[in-house]
Structure 1
Amino acid sequence: LKSSRTLSKGGCYDTCLKVLKRALELDVEFVEMDYEVACEVNMAEYLHNRSNTRIIVSNYVNDGRPSVEKLVDIIACMQATGADVIKLDLCVDYITDLAPIFTVLTHCQVPLIAVAVGNSGLISQLLGPKFGGFLVYGSLGGKPVPGLPSLVSLRQVYKLEYTNAATKVFGLVSNPVAHSKGPILYNPTFRHMGYNGIYVPMLVDDIEEFFETYSGSDFAGFSVGIPHKEAAIRCCDEVHPIAKSIGAVNTIVRRPMDGKLIGYNTDCEAAISAIEDALTAGGAGRALAFGAKYEGARIVIFNRDYKRAKALADEVSGEALLYEALEMFRPETGAILANASAIGMEPNSHQSPEALRAYDLVFDVVYTPRNTQLLKEAAEVGVTTVSGVEMFVRQALGQFRLFSGGSGNNNNLP
């Protein structure tokens, strides 16, 4: 596939025509040319002399969030060039800007490729085959390209050859989202279970706008991450009692019978069971605090925002202190330090609390990197540690059961 673009007529323009002619002589499978060039040449001449080569005509659309009508008009003009395949290169600012693109992909009568560049455009490729996209583009190693999945992830994680119009869409609604290991866990599990689903990262800025935009049954379930776990409750039609008492959801499922969004929290049980297993052998912070409350623990909440700490402490009959007091805090015997902040998450993996010797166990909800600086320091002074991976796997198992209608068990996760 050769991309032949031009900024103006002249040498570059002539080069494009030479590349096109040579591609036809070599009978390559596809040759891509810019819409500007296709409008200027006698395409009939080239189309008549080819053998098997299919011509992709591409056009860069820099129009913010183009409407469906605007995209249809652009495609009609491009189709008039005689192109076999139409390709739209778009720049999007928000994930909701992709909705018109998916609509056009679904209803377009000619082979269509849509590539949305930018961090918010990633699902344009991952969900392209579901909505009828002709081809998917990926990056070839090296430095990541915003909006393009790596070729390795397309082949090993997403395996889009199994995706079709009936595939149900699941994903992590978060910001940031690049750290997520969800696709690596869920997609092989879906395939192993024979469930027609795909799990993708969804970089979301405005969660309410997101759910208003993607309200169809195709979008069946969501993991909810930073910073949306508390705000997500407002997007739910119904909330499970545990999630309601916590005041945060980490899982939303669209109920098939009526399309209503049902909110759950699988963090609570996951966090406590991860700690209990170790002892016997935001949103996450709220779940951890409520879980500890149910177990009868004394709870002290540290937060840079004292009002937030105090509000949560009051709800769980605990105490509130400023984050800066953590280093000088002297816990009781048998105390557990649990970090439920983003401290330690890549790329800020070297910021960690100190004074760890006084604790019997240190738990970090962060799972990327697996062995955070906090856990390294705790292990160095002989303290038992629990990685966020333990909580992640447990809450993911709970989510999978909800996503798949209760079919998950401990043996389903690959």
Structure 2
Amino acid sequence: MVQEEFQMLQVDYEEVFGDNGAHRLKVDGKLIGYHTYCEASITAIEDSIKALGCINGEAFFPSPIAAKQFVVVGAGGAGRALAFGAKTRGARVIIFDIDFDRAKSLAQAVCGEAWPFEDLANFQPEKGAILANATPIGMHTSTDRIPVAQGTLKDYRLVFDAVYTPRKTTLLRDAENAGALVVSGVEMFLRQAIGQFNLFTGSKAPEDFMRAIVMEKF
């Protein structure tokens, strides 16, 4: 469904530039475009931090990523969803992309910073930062690669990888070994599917059943 065909849009749709679902209102027949990947990825990150926080007795208000350095590698569709989601939670967004102009454009849109991709190898994140890989690096065709310097992984509190084949990428394995929380792209895939089910049916998705099916496949 192209953008021009939508008569009504979700609030963040025009900013994120991409929909992955359409829902026809019963009242007037208008279409609303939604971007479920945005909320799916950010809530997956937040919930992982909150779960550990509960164990450690931490309290988060309003979001565990508020005021945190949020490093996004890749300024394509997934990167835009992550960047805008992080912006809405009050994170400080830094964008890396092989197309520096695209990185600058996205950074300007989220009031963040853009860095040249070649600087990523020497980039030193703040302690407790969030890293989100939104590039194909780590997919089944390049499973031995990671997008950042391995020595910096110890400084990230959480590492998210939008890649979900394989489920546990080299980036996530290395980050976990370095002591970071990790969130797989499978979790984003599942949550956006749940979001679409809720939108399309108007009913609550059978989350436990859907999770079991997805985890069995991945």
User: TM-score, normalised to structure 2's length?
Assistant: 0.75
Shift of 1:242: 2.1
Q: What is the aligned partner in structure 2 of residue 344 from structure 1?
A: 138
CA contact (8 A) 1:274 1:390 kept: yes
| Count of residue pairs brought into register by the alignment | 184
Alignment of 1:256-267 (within 5 A): 261-267=31-37
In structure 2, what is the equivalent of residue 287 of structure 1?
A: 81
Cα distance in 1 for residues equivalent to 2:7 and 2:77: 19
Q: What is the CA distance between 1:345 and its match in structure 2?
A: 2.4
Structure 1 Cα separation of the partners of residues 84 and 205 of structure 2: 25
Distance change in 2, residues 1:343/1:411 (3 Å): same
Alignment match of 1:269 (pick from 39, 47, 54): 39
Match of 1:326 in 2: 120
- What is the one-letter code of the residue matched to 1:292? A
> Residues of 1 paired with 2:24 and 2:166: CA distance?
31
Instruction: Say whether the 8 Å CA contact 1:233–1:239 is kept in structure 2.
Output: no
Structure 1 pair 342–235 and aligned structure 2 pair: CA distance change class (3 A): farther
CA displacement at 1:383 relative to structure 2: 2.0
Q: Distance in 2 between matches of 1:319 and 1:253?
A: 34
Q: Quote the sequence identity (%).
A: 52
- How far residue 346 of structure 1 moved from its aligned partner, in angstroms, is 2.8
Aligned to 1:311: 105
Residues 381 and 242 of structure 1: CA distance in aligned 2, closer, same or farther (over 3 Å): same
Q: Which residue, out of 185, 199, 213, partners 1:388?
A: 185
Distance change in 2, residues 1:254/1:342 (3 Å): farther
- The higher radius of gyration belongs to 1
Structure 2 counterpart SS, 1:360: strand
Aligned partner of 2:118: which letter? E
SS state at 1:363 partner: strand
Aligned partners of 1:359 and 1:411: how far apart in 2? 30
TM-score normalised to structure 1 length: 0.41
The unaligned stretches of length 5 or more in structure 1 are: 1-210, 212-231
Q: 1:364 aligns with which of 147, 158, 161?
A: 161
User: Take 2:154 and 2:140, find their aligned partners in 1: how far apart are those partners?
Assistant: 25
Gaps of 5+ in 2: 52-75, 213-218
Q: Please list, as runs of the form range in 1=range in 2, the aligned pairs for 1:15-414 lying within 5 A after superposition.
A: 232-254=2-24, 261-281=31-51, 282-355=76-149, 356-408=153-205, 410-411=207-208, 413=210, 414=212
SS of corresponding position for 1:299: strand
1:402 is paired with a residue whose SS is helix
In structure 2, the residue matched to 1:128 is: none
Give me the whole-angstrom Cα distance separating, in 2, the residues matched to 1:292 and 1:335.
12
Q: How far did residue 256 of structure 1 move?
A: 6.4
- 1:345 maps to a residue whose letter is M
Which sits farther off after the overlay, 241-250 or 365-374? 241-250
Q: Distance in 2 between matches of 1:294 and 1:247?
A: 16
Shift of the 411–381 alpha-carbon distance from structure 1 to 2, 3 Å rule, reads closer
Separation (CA, whole Å) in 2 of partners of 1:307 and 1:234: 25
Over 3 Å counting, the alpha-carbon distance change for 1:235 and 1:350 in structure 2 is: farther
Cα distance in 1 for residues equivalent to 2:186 and 2:8: 29
- Alignment check: 8 A CA contact 1:250 1:283 kept: no
How large is the RMSD of aligned CA atoms in angstroms?
Answer: 2.2
Partner deviation per Cα, 1:211-260 (whole Å, 9 max, x = no partner) = 5xxxxxxxxxxxxxxxxxxxx43443432112223222222235567765
* Distance verdict in 2 for CA 1:296–1:236, change over 3 Å: same
Conservation of the 8 A alpha-carbon contact between 1:401 and 1:409 = no
Distance 1:274 1:407 in 2: 18
Matched AA of 1:327 = A
Instruction: Verify the 8 A CA contact 1:238 1:263 in the aligned structure 2.
Output: yes
Q: 1:310 to 1:380 in 2, by over 3 A?
A: same
CA distance in 1, matches of 2:135, 2:30: 31
Task: Output the CA distance in 1 between the equivalents of 2:158 and 2:197.
Answer: 29
Look up the SS of the partner of 2:49 in the other structure: helix
Q: Deviations over 1:30-88 (max 9, x none)?
A: xxxxxxxxxxxxxxxxxxxxxxxxxxxxxxxxxxxxxxxxxxxxxxxxxxxxxxxxxxx
